[in-house]
Chain A
Amino acid sequence: GAVVSQHPSRVICKSGTSVKIECRSLDFQATTMFWYRQFPKQSLMLMATSNEGSKATYEQGVEKDKFLINHASLTLSTLTVTSAHPEDSSFYICSARQGFGTDTQYFGPGTRLTVL
C-alpha cells in the first residue's frame, strides 16, 4: 500500500521557537494533504487541507499564522508551528490522498511535539 512518512517523529522545543514538520508521500503523488491534531485519549481534529500549489484551507478556529502549511510539491507538505507554546504540545498527523472521489487517505505515523 501507499506509504506516508513524517519527520521528525518526535521533537522537543523551547517556548517561543518555531518547529517544522514534514509530511512526504513516498510512492505516490498526493494532490491533497491533510493535517490533523490529536490530544491524548482523544480523536483526530482536522486542522487544514492543502492542495499542491495552492493555499491551505484552514478549519474554523485554527490560526493560519500560527500553523503555517506549505504544499510545494506533489510529494511534500510541511507544517510549521510558529512561536510555539506549551499548549501547542500535541500529536500531529498528516495524511495524503492521490486523487479525488473514493480515493483513500493514507496516514503518516505522526509527530509528537512537546513544547517546554
Chain B
Amino acid sequence: AQSVTQLGSHVSVSEGALVLLRCNYSSSVPPYLFWYVQYPNQGLQLLLKYTTGATLVKGINGFEAEFKKSETSFHLTKPSAHMSDAAEYFCAVRGPKTSYDKVIFGPGTSLSVIP
C-alpha cells in the first residue's frame, strides 16, 4: 500500500528564511510524487511533480523538491520565504500500477510566514 507522511503539521518561518517542508513516502513501486498548495477555502494548485528522470524538480513560485530514493523522501524547499507562501501544503504519491489512478495525499503541513 502507498502512504505519505509529512513531519510537522505546522511550520513557522520568518520572511526571507529558508522553507523546508518534509515528506516521506512508502511505495512498493517507483512512485510519482507531487506537492500541492492550498489557500484558504480554495482548491489545490500543483507546485511540482516528479515522475522520472532528474531527481531535483523545480516548480512554480520558487519551490523545488528532491526525490531521494534511498531516504524515501521528497522534501519541499524554497530559499527565501515570502508572506504569500503562507498556506497549506500537501505531499502526494501516485498509487500502485494496478490502480495508478489514485493519488494519495499526506496529512498536510500548514506554513506560516512571520514578518
Contact = CB atoms under 8 A, between A and B. Distances in A.
A2 to B, nearest CB: 10
A44 interface: yes
Interface in A87-109: 91, 93, 95, 100, 102, 104-109
Interface size class of A (residues with CB under 8 A): 20 to 34
Contacts, number: 45
A104 B90 contact: no
A110 B107 contact: no
Nearest to A57: B101
A20 to B, nearest CB: 18
Interface in A38-82: 42-44, 46, 49
A108 B43 contact: yes
Contacts of B101: 32, 34, 49
Contacts of A102: 32, 49, 51
A43 B108 contact: yes
Given A42-B107, A102-B51, A93 B43 contact: yes
19 contacts: A6-B43, A42-B107, A43-B90, A43-B108, A44-B90, A44-B105, A46-B102, A46-B104, A93-B43, A95-B44, A100-B100, A104-B46, A107-B36, A107-B43, A107-B44, A109-B42, A109-B43, A110-B41, A112-B41
Nearest to B52: A102
A15 B110 CA distance: 32
Interface of A: 4, 6, 32, 34, 42-44, 46, 49, 91, 93, 95, 100, 102, 104-110, 112
Contacts of B32: 102
B102 A107 contact: no
Contacts of A46: 102-104
Contacts of B106: 43
B51 to A, nearest CB: 5
Interface string B89-103: 010000000001111
B46 A93 contact: no
Contacts of B107: 42-43
Contacts of A106: 46
